[in-house]
């Protein structure tokens, strides 16, 4: 994979399976479980801190008004929750 290409989930599963020496199906289940656990933890209102890698958290976006770009009509935008990721020191150093 050259720089600029995006790694997808199947690429990640293949890489983990190869590095750890397990079947792709086992690596896939492990990655799925990790992603589901992060999602469920965020949904419950808790942060997920992976020291050196980063922190997953949820922020609240306040309700606001906006305009429909096609019609110019004013519309209300509801309050919402947004997932957020803040990279840790080691990850920042790795990519720089």
68-85: average pLDDT: 93
| 87 Cβ neighbours under 8 A, 6+ residues apart | 53, 54
Domain extents in the chain: 1-45, 47-96
Report the CATH fold assignment for 47-96.
HU Protein; Chain A (4.10.520)
Question: Helices 24-43 & 9-20, crossing angle to 10 degrees?
Answer: 120
1 pLDDT band, cuts 50/70/90, is low
Helices (H), the chain: 9-20, 24-43, 89-95
Q: Cα separation of 95 and 69, whole Å?
A: 37
The reported pLDDT for the residue numbered 3 is 63
Q: Cα separation of 17 and 24, whole Å?
A: 5
């Amino acid at each position: 994979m050259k720089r600029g290409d995006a790694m997808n989930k199947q690429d990640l599963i293949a890489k983990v399976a190869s590095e750890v020496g397990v079947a792709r199906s086992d690596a896939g289940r492990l990655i799925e479980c990790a992603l589901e656990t992060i999602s469920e933890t965020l949904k419950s209102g808790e942060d997920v801190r992976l020291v050196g890698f980063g922190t997953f958290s949820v922020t609240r976006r306040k309700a606001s008004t906006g305009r429909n770009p096609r019609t110019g009509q004013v519309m209300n935008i509801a309050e919402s929750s947004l997932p957020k990721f803040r990279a840790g020191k080691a990850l920042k150093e790795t990519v720089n």
